[in-house]
Chain A
Amino acid sequence: MRHRVFRFGLILLILFLPSVIFAAGGQEAPEITGTVSVEMWHAMSGERIQLIEGIVESFMKQNPNINVVVQYTGSYNDTLNKTTAAFRAGNPPHVFHLYEIGTLGMANSGMVTPIGDLTRWEEIDWDAFFSPVSNYYTISGKHYSMPFNSSTPLLYYNKSFFKQAGLPDKAPATFDAVIEVGKKLKGSGLDLKAPITWNLNCWYFEQFHCIMDAPLVNNDNGRTGTFPTKALFNQEAGQTIAEWWTGMERDGIFLDVGPGWSNHRAAFGSGEVAMVMSSTSDVNKLTNLLDEKGWEMGTGFMPRPVGAKGGVTIGGGTLWISSGHPDAELYAALKLVKYISEDDAQKKWHKGTGYFPVRKTAMKALEKEGWFRENPNFLVAFNQLLESPYTYNTAGALIGVFPELRKLVETGIQRVYAGEKTVKETLDEAGAKSDEAMKEWNELNQ
Chain B
Amino acid sequence: MQSYFKGKWLPYLLLLPTYVILIAFLFYPAFETFRLSLYKVHPFGIRKIFAGFYNFRKLFGSADYLHSFWISFLFSLSVVVIGLFLSMMIAVLLNQKLKGQKIYRSLLIWPYALSPAIAGALFRFLFNPVNGYMLYLSEVILGVEPEWLTSGSLAIVIITMAATWKNLGYNIIFYLTGLQNVQRESLEAASIDGAGPVRRFWIITFPLLSPTTFFLLIMNLIYSYFSSFGLIDVLTEGGPANATNILIYQLYQDFFVNHKIGYAAAESFILFTLVVGLTLIQFRTTGRKVHYQ
Does B associate with A?
yes
Chain A residues packing against B (C-beta within 8 Å): 77, 81, 84, 87-88, 105, 109-111, 193, 200, 255-260, 263-264, 266-267, 270, 272, 400-401, 403-404, 407, 410-411, 414-415, 417-418, 420, 437, 440-441, 443-445
Chain B neighbourhood of A418, CB < 8 A: 151-152, 240-241
Q: Tell me if B259 counts as interface (CB < 8 A to partner A).
A: yes
Please report the C-alpha to C-alpha distance between residue A437 and residue B40 in the assembled complex, in whole angstroms.
Answer: 12
| B→A interface (CB under 8 Å) | 40-47, 49, 128-131, 145, 147, 149-152, 236-237, 239-242, 253, 256-260
Q: What are 27 A-B pairs at a CB distance below 8 A?
A: A81-B256, A88-B45, A110-B46, A200-B239, A256-B147, A257-B129, A258-B150, A258-B236, A258-B237, A259-B239, A263-B128, A263-B129, A266-B128, A266-B130, A270-B131, A404-B260, A407-B257, A414-B152, A414-B240, A414-B241, A417-B240, A418-B151, A418-B240, A420-B241, A443-B40, A444-B40, A445-B47
- Shortest C-beta distance, B27 to chain A (Å), equals 18
Question: Contact: A109 with B43, CB < 8 Å?
Answer: yes
User: Which A residues lie within 8 Å of B47 (CB)?
Assistant: 444-445
Cβ contact of B42, chosen from A255, A403, A444, cutoff 8 A = A444
Residues of A close to B242: CB separation below 8 A: 411
Residues of B close to A266: CB separation below 8 A: 128, 130-131
Q: Identify whether the interface residues of B are mostly helix, strand, loop, or mixed.
A: loop
- Residues on A with C-beta less than 8 A from B253 are 407
List A contacts of B151 (CB < 8 A): 418
For the complex formed, measure the closest distance between the CB of A42 and the CB atoms of chain B, giving whole angstroms.
19
- The reply to whether B241 and A270 contact each other, CB–CB distance below 8 Å, is no
Residues in B whose Cβ lies below 8 Å from that of A401: 258
Alpha-carbon distance between A164 and B175 when the two chains are bound, in angstroms: 60
Give CA–CA (A110, B43) in the complex, Å.
Answer: 10
Chain B residue contacts of A414, Cβ below 8 A: 152, 239-241
Question: Do the beta carbons of B130 and A257 come within 8 Å of each other?
Answer: yes
Closest chain-A Cβ to B173's Cβ sits at a distance in Å of 32
A441 nearest CB neighbor, chain B only:
B43
The dominant DSSP class at the A interface is: helix
Query: With A410-B239, A417-B241, A443-B49 as given contacts, are A256 and B256 in contact (CB-CB < 8 Å)?
Result: no
Point out the residue from B44, B147, B240, B260 that lies within 8 Å of A109, measured CB to CB: B44
Chain B residues with Cβ below 8 Å from A77 are 256-257
**Nearest-CB residue, chain B, relative to A200:** B239
A108 smallest CB distance to B (angstroms): 8
A443 to B40 alpha-carbon distance, docked (Å): 9
Q: How far is the CA of A270 from the CA of B49 in the complex (A)?
A: 53
CB-based nearest A residue for B152: A418
B172: shortest Cβ distance to chain A, in Å?
32
Chain B residue nearest to A197 in the complex (CB): B130
CA distance A142 to B259 in the complex (A): 25
Expressed in whole angstroms, the Cα–Cα distance for A40 and B67 within the complex equals 41
Nearest CB in chain B: distance from A154 CB, A: 20
Q: How far is the CA of A266 from the CA of B135 in the complex (A)?
A: 14
Using Cβ atoms and an 8 Å threshold, which residues of chain A touch B257? 77, 403-404, 407
| A259 in contact with B241 (CB, 8 Å) | no
Task: Report whether B131 and A105 are in contact in the complex, using a CB–CB cutoff of 8 Å.
Answer: no
A392 CB to nearest B CB, Å: 24
* Bound Cα distance from A260 to B129, whole angstroms: 12
- With A and B bound together, what is the CA distance between A264 and B129 in angstroms? 10
Known: A200-B239, A258-B240, A404-B257. 15 other contacts (CB 8 A): A81-B256, A84-B44, A88-B45, A257-B129, A258-B149, A258-B237, A266-B128, A404-B260, A411-B239, A411-B241, A415-B241, A417-B150, A417-B241, A443-B40, A445-B47
